[in-house]
């Protein structure tokens, strides 16, 4: 299926705000650049209606946008060519299979992103990985909500988690998680699911990872409370710093207490305790 590329000329600070707001729609990938934000979505059934929703979101910021149809394979090749290895201190490194092996890190993760989100480059993913460093995953039962490429589920497995359920509503993310789990030799621990929270039958998780967006997280708090065992850990990200009080107030209503948090750019990641 072909994709649409939406391009929004905007400064870096505004780009981060747009990512958070547009993340409420069905965009799969965001690419932040020095002068413009690019967002990619599978070809909608009604392009006009979808663009109308986009217009409503960006209109208050007086941002004009252009739309370009991108063939799947061509877009994918461009994405892969721009993917560079990253490290999170000496805790872990992330690379594609066409990069040289990494040294000096505890955990090396190989991610071939295809059309799925999550390579560690974006602030939200990077911060969740940072928070994961201080958590004991050995033998733990884990749920990765909105798994994208499967990067967080794979990292949890490499830290010793015994079972990770990883769910995403996007078929490319589901397929990419399966592929990346196999590449990283953690397929026995990572169990990918296609769908929303309703397809996740597990409960009593020790740790839940939710790197999505504000709207999804706010709506999911009641279900996540049910699925996380008492004393369990919930890591959330994909939230703007300006939404901190709103999100934490809602979290408190569902029995979650903040333990610590990280900020990077305009983004926030929080470790919560049930």
Instruction: List, for residues 149-169, the tens digit of each pLDDT value.
Output: 899 999 999 999 999 999 998
Tell me the pLDDT tens digit for each residue of 178-194: 999 999 999 999 999 99
Mind spelling out the 3-state secondary structure of the chain? CCEEEEEEECCHHHHHHHHHHHCCCCCCEEEECCCEEEEEEECCCCHHHHHHHHHHHHHHHCCCCEEEEECHHHHHHHHHHCCCCEEECCCEEEECCCCCCCCCCCEEEECCCCCCCCCCCCHHHHHHHHHHCCCCCCCCEEEEECCCCCHHHHHHHHCCCCEEEEEECCHHHHHHHHHHHHHCCCCCCEEEEECCHHHCCCCCEEEEEEECCHHHHHHHHHHHHHHEEEEEEEEEEEEEHHHHHHHHHHHHHCCCEEEEEEEECCEEEEEEEC
The CATH classification of domain 3-79, taken from the options 3.90.650.10, 3.60.70.12, 3.40.50.300, 3.30.70.920: 3.30.70.920
Is the predicted pLDDT of residue 119 greater than 60, yes or no? no
Query: Given 3.40.50.150, 1.10.10.1100, 3.40.50.2000, 1.10.8.60, which CATH number is that of 84-273?
Result: 3.40.50.150
Confidence band for 265, pLDDT divided at 50, 70 and 90: confident
Query: pLDDT, tens digit, for every residue of 131-145?
Result: 999 999 999 999 999
Query: Does the structure show a pLDDT above 90 at 96?
Result: no
Sequence ranges of the chain with CATH classification 3.40.50.150: 84-273
């Amino acid at each position: 299926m072909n994709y649409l590329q939406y391009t929004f000329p905007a400064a870096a600070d505004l780009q981060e705000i747009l990512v958070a707001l547009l993340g409420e729609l069905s965009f799969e990938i965001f690419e932040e650049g020095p002068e413009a934000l690019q967002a990619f979505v599978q070809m909608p059934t009604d392009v006009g209606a979808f663009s109308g929703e986009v217009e409503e979101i960006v209109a208050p910021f007086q941002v004009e946008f252009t739309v370009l149809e991108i063939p799947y394979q061509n877009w994918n090749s461009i994405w892969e060519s721009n993917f560079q290895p990253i490290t999170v201190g000496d805790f872990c490194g992330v690379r594609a299979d066409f990069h040289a092996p990494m040294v000096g890190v505890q955990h090396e993760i190989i991610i071939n992103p295809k059309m799925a989100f999550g390579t560690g480059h974006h602030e939200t993913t990077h911060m969740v990985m940072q928070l994961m460093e201080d958590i004991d995953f050995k033998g733990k039962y884990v749920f990765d909500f909105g798994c994208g490429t499967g990067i967080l589920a794979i990292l949890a497995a490499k830290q010793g988690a015994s079972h990770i359920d990883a769910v995403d509503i996007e078929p490319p993310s589901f397929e990419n998680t399966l592929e990346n789990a196999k590449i990283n030799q953690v397929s026995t621990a990572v169990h990918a699911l296609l769908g929303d929270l309703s397809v996740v039958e597990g409960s009593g998780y020790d740790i839940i990872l939710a790197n999505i967006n504000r709207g999804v997280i706010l709506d999911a708090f009641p279900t996540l409370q049910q699925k996380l065992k008492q004393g369990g850990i919930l890591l959330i990200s994909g939230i703007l710093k300006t939404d901190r009080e709103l999100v934490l107030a809602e979290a408190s209503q569902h029995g979650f207490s903040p333990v610590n948090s990280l900020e990077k750019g305009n983004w926030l990641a929080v470790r919560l305790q049930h």
